[in-house]
């Protein structure tokens, strides 16, 4: 699974219709609408930030508090960060986009607020991140995924944007590593059967 399951996870229980046990949508709107609305209303700001990231020398930019920005170059150690010369510009872009972290992998940019992007419902944690990339491939979300305790799937929005949703039980931190691996493994095996790989 990609980073979202390592950051947090997302999922929720949805009421099924009278004649089926499978929700008509996954993730349910209650868990996903905020992510979709944020992308819709902040798209211009997110586009501007994404372009700034991919044309910069940095692979990570983060804002710990208003006006304070740290960045890491591709050839730096993980903990070797610096303050960009144009800190004010970065701060304004991050604030307008509504995100604290931007991570670049070649021409792909991931945006996440980590904890702030997590939603707890019915004992399940849902989370999301945005990915800016024309080439990014995702496994499309399917209603059948609702039966799995852990998982991840995505929605494409236009040519450049994907929202990756994740979900897992709220008490997963109390599980053993073997139990966590089994939960994620069950989903990956089922996803490969149910989905068409990107």
Domain ranges of the chain: 3-13+25-194
Distance from C-alpha of 137 to C-alpha of 197, rounded to nearest angstrom = 8
* 109-133: pLDDT as tens digits: 999 876 566 888 888 899 999 999 9
**Residue length, the chain?**
198
For the segment 181-191, the average pLDDT, to the nearest whole number, is 90
Q: Tokens 């089926």 — which residue?
A: 20
* 22-76: pLDDT as tens digits: 446 788 888 899 899 999 999 999 999 999 999 999 999 999 776 789 999 988 8
Query: By the 8 A CB rule, do 71 and 102 touch?
Result: no
* 61-76: pLDDT as tens digits: 999 776 789 999 988 8
Distance from C-alpha of 40 to C-alpha of 147, rounded to nearest angstrom = 29
What's the pTM value of the predicted model, to 2 decimals?
A: 0.81
């Amino acid at each position: 699974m990609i980073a979202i399951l390592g950051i947090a996870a997302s999922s929720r229980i949805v009421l099924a219709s009278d004649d089926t046990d499978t929700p008509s949508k996954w993730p349910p709107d209650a868990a996903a609408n905020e992510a979709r609305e944020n992308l819709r209303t902040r798209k211009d700001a997110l586009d501007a930030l994404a372009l700034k990231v991919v044309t910069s020398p940095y692979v990570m930019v983060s804002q710990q508090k208003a006006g304070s920005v740290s960045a890491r170059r591709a050839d730096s150690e993980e903990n070797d960060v610096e303050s960009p010369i144009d800190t004010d510009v970065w701060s304004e872009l991050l604030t307008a986009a509504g995100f604290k972290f931007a991570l670049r992998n070649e021409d792909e940019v991931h945006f996440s607020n980590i904890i702030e992007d997590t939603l707890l419902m019915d004992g399940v944690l849902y989370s999301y991140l945005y990915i800016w990339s024309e080439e990014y491939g995702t496994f499309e979300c399917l209603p059948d995924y609702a039966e799995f305790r852990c998982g991840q799937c995505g929605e494409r929005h236009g040519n450049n944007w994907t929202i990756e949703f994740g979900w897992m039980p709220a008490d997963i931190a109390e599980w053993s590593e073997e139990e966590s691996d089994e939960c994620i493994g069950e989903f990956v095996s089922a996803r490969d059967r149910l989905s068409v790989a990107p």
